Structure 1
Amino acid sequence: MITFAWPWLALCLPLPFIIAKLLPPRAQTNSALKVPFTLPEVRSGNYMANNRNLPLPIFISLWCLFVLALTRPQWLGEPVPIASESREMMIAVDLSGSMQIEDMELNGRQINRLEMLKTLLGDFIERRQGDRLGLILFADDAYMQTPMTYDRQTVKQMLDEAVIGLVGQKTAIGDAIALSVKRFLNKEDSNRVLVLLTDGQNTSGKVTPDQALEVAVANDVTIYTIGIGAEVMMERSLFGNRKVNPSRDLDEGSLQHIAKQTDGSYFRATDSASMSRIYQMLDQLEPVEQEQQQMRPLTALFYYPLALIMIIIIGLCLLPTLSALYQAVRQPRGANNVR
């Protein structure tokens, strides 16, 4: 809706008429000096060009627009929720070679682990409205793909663009934890949560998981670990199909230890349904911050009446020129016969 910052300035609206009443009347001029209405310039429309007095309707319009601008009209927008405190969550995703194993099923289609993770994790990111999210991708090394941001669409897009083998084929779990803790060090007034998703064990990196865990505990970082991979998978061989465990390299003991030491939880995702339930449990364990405050954006509108005033003034200044051009166009050309 439209509001006014200084509505009391509307009292200035009758000011010119009050001044006109208080001023003494002007002396009457001799009627012989009055301009007769039969002059050609009046009939041709040049009276406005030569008359220095502003017509009363135009003056009233300009004054009303000026007073309207003085009251500072502004548009009050819809309420926008503001989180009362900062909440931050870092998401670390494993991009090692084993993430391309197709032991997951989604919507009746067999897909690899990373594709399933992108679909369901993307929905989880969409629900984290009001939280600042960051994305870490790790394999041989860990690197920051998206720093902490409220822009959930960017985090989701960066996740969708991640490909297996982008940073190698191994798994640097310790580096991913250490990098997450480093990003939290400059944030003292926020909750520090890391969601670590992997399907293997630490096989690379400059920092071991135990070393990174010590740093995480010292800096009050809560880590939720998720082990990805089916427990049984049919594999073709020369002797026919046989059942294998595609998650034999998953170090569940280490992931459970990391989660327990940081007051977090360990989850096992064997299919898309269990992964979806894990994200729902994370929403309960780390609920989205409830908005306590609201802000209504204000958009200034005073420049609209000011712009209209300028248009009217420019039109009055151009009126003599336009009138002269109009008369020049209408005047018929005389023909001189030369004998």
Structure 2
Amino acid sequence: MLTLAWPWLLLLLPLPLLIRQKNTKQLTGGELNMPGIAHTREVTVSQGRNTSRLFYYLMWALLVLAVARPQWVGQPIDIPTKGRDLMVAVDLSGSMQIEDMVLNGRAVDRFSVIRQVVSDFIAKRKGDRLGLILFADHAYLQTPLTPDRRSVAQYMREAQIGLVGKQTAIGEAIALAVKRFDKVKNSNRILVLLTDGSNNAGNIEPMEAARIAAKRHVTIYTIGVGADVMQPQGFFGTQQVNPSADLDEQTLSAIAKLTHGRYFRARNPQELQQIYEEINKLQPVSRDQQSYRPRSELFYWPLGLALLCSIGLALFQSGLAAGLGHRSIK
């Protein structure tokens, strides 16, 4: 929006009118009318004075407006805080395709639920810097730590199963998060790691990575995803199986305990949503978020127009003087 830094200076606008009115009162009654003399020259001079006076008033108004400092104020921009850095690591291994979750009354795969819940969780973390790690055969940094929550959530929604392989490199995901946290100082370092299996890939064991994370003061919240019971339709009829048999809850619990975090178990979308709400309580968003509005100075516009008016006034007065001189010669 358009605003003025010093609007009170606009009180100076009527100053020339007040001065002229005072001078007019002092000169009232001092005119001498002489009948019989042609008034053509006087009329021309009077009209020229009126036009010049309009130029002067316009120039004065533009100069006062320039001194009042007109500004264009933009939309609020959040200032990144150093209070909390939160990294989200999501498993994209092949087992995420298992359809043991129910969403809106129909069976869906695990990752469809995770994508929705995690995206909502990221969008709510206003005031934090967030990053996204995707892992399967190896861990990859999808989004570095940034206050731009929309971009992180968008990358989460665009992720696909099998994008980085079919296996599960939990240790690499933890190590990559620790490496990224080493680049920032004076912050609460939080890692939320979500998986549905056990470590079977990567170059570092999960517990070794967790010990490094503990030394670097990184708190890890681990989430194990997958239903306990699933009844698929087979050749011999309905069978009851445990789709989460590969989930290494013991290691995930140990990682959380070693880094002063917590382990959570998500068997359905409702539990997963509750887990992220619990994490929001354990690690509330930064409350010292600040913002500012960018301001662009616009004083040079009225100042430039005042300069053009002065040039126009000079040309007008030169033309008027030339016209009067020509009439005098005649």
1:119–1:314 Cα change, 3 Å:
farther
Corresponding position of 1:2: 3
Q: Whole-Å Cα distance in 2 between the matches of residues 99 and 318 of structure 1?
A: 80
Structure with the bigger percentage of helix: 2
The C-alpha deviation readout for 1:173-225, integer Å capped at 9, x for no partner, is: 00000000000002121110000000000000011112211210110000000
Q: Is the 8 A contact 2:89 2:192 kept in 1?
A: yes
Q: How many residues align?
A: 305
Query: Which ranges in structure 1 are unaligned for 5 or more consecutive residues?
Result: 22-30, 320-339
Is residue 280 from structure 1 mapped to residue 280 from structure 2 by the alignment? no
Q: Is the 8 A contact 1:227 1:250 kept in 2?
A: yes
The C-alpha deviation readout for 1:96-121, integer Å capped at 9, x for no partner, is: 00000000111112110111001111
Corresponding position of 1:258: 255
The C-alpha deviation readout for 1:65-91, integer Å capped at 9, x for no partner, is: 112102213356787665764311000
For residues 1-339 of structure 1, the aligned pairs below 5 Å read 2-5=3-6, 14=15, 36=41, 55-74=52-71, 85-291=82-288, 293=290, 295-306=292-303, 308-309=305-306
1:77–1:182 Cα change, 3 Å:
same
Q: Whole-Å Cα distance in 2 between the matches of residues 315 and 232 of structure 1?
A: 87
Q: Is the 8 A contact 2:171 2:199 kept in 1?
A: yes
Q: Is the 8 A contact 2:4 2:68 kept in 1?
A: no
The structural deviation recorded for 1:259 is 0.2
Q: Whole-Å Cα distance in 2 between the matches of residues 95 and 13 of structure 1?
A: 71
1:165–1:35 Cα change, 3 Å:
same
Counterpart of 1:2, as a letter, is: T
Corresponding position of 1:335: none
1:108–1:298 Cα change, 3 Å:
same
1:7–1:137 Cα change, 3 Å:
same
Structure 1 counterpart SS, 2:232: strand
Q: Is the 8 A contact 1:10 1:71 kept in 2?
A: no
Q: Whole-Å Cα distance in 2 between the matches of residues 225 and 96 of structure 1?
A: 16
Q: Is the 8 A contact 1:73 1:302 kept in 2?
A: yes
The C-alpha deviation readout for 1:282-329, integer Å capped at 9, x for no partner, is: 11000011136554543434244335546757877999xxxxxxxxxx
Structure 1 counterpart SS, 2:102: strand
Q: Whole-Å Cα distance in 2 between the matches of residues 188 and 197 of structure 1?
A: 25
Q: Whole-Å Cα distance in 2 between the matches of residues 85 and 15 of structure 1?
A: 54
Which stretch has the larger CA shift, 195-204 or 79-88? Answer: 79-88
Q: Whole-Å Cα distance in 1 between the matches of residues 289 and 144 of structure 2?
A: 25
Q: Is the 8 A contact 1:82 1:291 kept in 2?
A: no
Structure 2 counterpart SS, 1:279: helix
Q: Is the 8 A contact 1:83 1:291 kept in 2?
A: no
The structural deviation recorded for 1:36 is 3.8
Which stretch has the larger CA shift, 52-61 or 136-145? Answer: 52-61
Counterpart of 1:161, as a letter, is: E
Q: Whole-Å Cα distance in 2 between the matches of residues 292 and 161 of structure 1?
A: 28
TM-score using structure 1 length: 0.78
The structural deviation recorded for 1:264 is 0.2
Structure 2 counterpart SS, 1:277: helix
User: Which segments of structure 1 move beyond 4 Å, counting only runs of 4 or more?
Assistant: 5-19, 31-35, 51-54, 75-84, 310-319
1:56–1:265 Cα change, 3 Å:
same
The structural deviation recorded for 1:10 is 6.7
Q: Is the 8 A contact 1:5 1:74 kept in 2?
A: no
